[in-house]
Amino acid sequence: METSKKIKFACAPIAWTNDDMPELGKENTFEQCVSEMALAGYSGTEIGNKYPRDPGTLKRYLELRNLQVASAWFSSFLTTKPFEETKQAFIEHRDFLHAMGAKVIVVAEQGRSIQGQMDTPVFKDKPVFTDAEWDLLTHGLEALGELAHEKGMEIVYHHHMGTGVQTTEEIERLMEHTAADHVSLLFDTGHLVFSGENPLAIFNKYQSRIKHIHFKDIREEMAKEVKEQNDSFLTGVKKGVFTVPGDGMIDFHPIMDAIVESGYEGWIVVEAEQDPAKANPFEYALKARKYIDELLLNKELVN
């Protein structure tokens, strides 16, 4: 299949063990996680807290399962801490990912983020950056982009619920005030729809800068409840607002069509943070893989 030569599919470990809420999936081991990813038909993984941090050790586990590292999350604090602190942490993270063969580095600004606060309403108390904070963020990201280039890598910015870059307007401001050759975009379907944005419009507008993709779905009734009850982001996760593609409200057919037609080359990562006691990680990873295969098959039939 022509599509599969350009697009690779990975799975995120957060369905097995949640890094922000370690009590979710504490019983699931790293080896179980990567084994089930491979068994479900994925060729890549992002990196969770249970993964070995020694490149040689991690490579041995992944090569046995024919898995590659797609990327890993990096928390920047460009708006709230001296740049040097973020720089040093970023270089260490960059070098680890480079050793693992990754091409992109996922970056999300955590200055004033409420995504990890259990009792803070994700919609009502969402942070809004000042002009000064926007300047710190955009200049800092461009500097991180330069550091990534030293290793032939790119940073991909992760818009995220409960942060200062969540909405369409905020994504637009980030894109308009950063250089395209220094700062790329991560396209996350779940965070866009949960926030109330139009994912297809975002993809179409910024497809030339999108170099990493997260596929997650949204349970519509649960998303409404989170907003109406002023729940936090983490409470929403525990309630089950996120699920895998094909199990929620998002129509992925036009999104996949747009991705394929754009000539996108890179990873699409299935990422649905759920309580593994309620949503068996292997079962849902397999469900997502089958749904994605159907999307691609339909696309091939159209062509």
List pLDDT tens digits, range 174-232. Answer: 999 999 999 999 999 999 999 999 999 999 999 999 999 999 999 999 999 999 999 99
The confidence band for 257, taking pLDDT boundaries of 50, 70 and 90, is very high
DSSP class of residue 107 equals E
**Chain position carrying tokens 């990562």:** 269
Q: Between these two residues, 3 and 165, which has the higher pLDDT value?
A: 165
| Cβ-contact 69, 62 below 8 angstroms | yes
User: Is the pLDDT at 280 greater than 50, yes or no?
Assistant: yes
User: Is the pLDDT at 2 greater than 60, yes or no?
Assistant: no
CATH code for the part of the protein at 2-302: 3.20.20.150
* pLDDT value of residue 299: 65
Predicted TM-score of the model (pTM)? 0.97
* pLDDT value of residue 303: 35
25 CB neighbour count, 10 Å cutoff: 25
User: Is the pLDDT at 261 greater than 60, yes or no?
Assistant: yes
Share of the chain above pLDDT 70, in %: 96
Q: Where are the domains of the chain?
A: 2-302
User: Is the pLDDT at 1 greater than 70, yes or no?
Assistant: no
Sign of CA dihedral 191, 197, 201, 205: negative
> How far is Cα 188 from Cα 163, in angstroms, rounded to an integer?
14
Closest CA to 189 of 203, 174, 207: 203
Find the angle CA(17)-CA(12)-CA(94) to the nearest 5 degrees.
105
User: Is the pLDDT at 298 greater than 90, yes or no?
Assistant: no
User: Is the pLDDT at 7 greater than 60, yes or no?
Assistant: yes
* pLDDT value of residue 300: 55
* pLDDT value of residue 182: 98
Treating both helix axes as pointing N-terminal to C-terminal, what angle do 252-262 and 199-206 enclose, rounded to 10 degrees? 10
Find the angle CA(41)-CA(59)-CA(187) to the nearest 5 degrees.
55
> How far is Cα 173 from Cα 130, in angstroms, rounded to an integer?
12
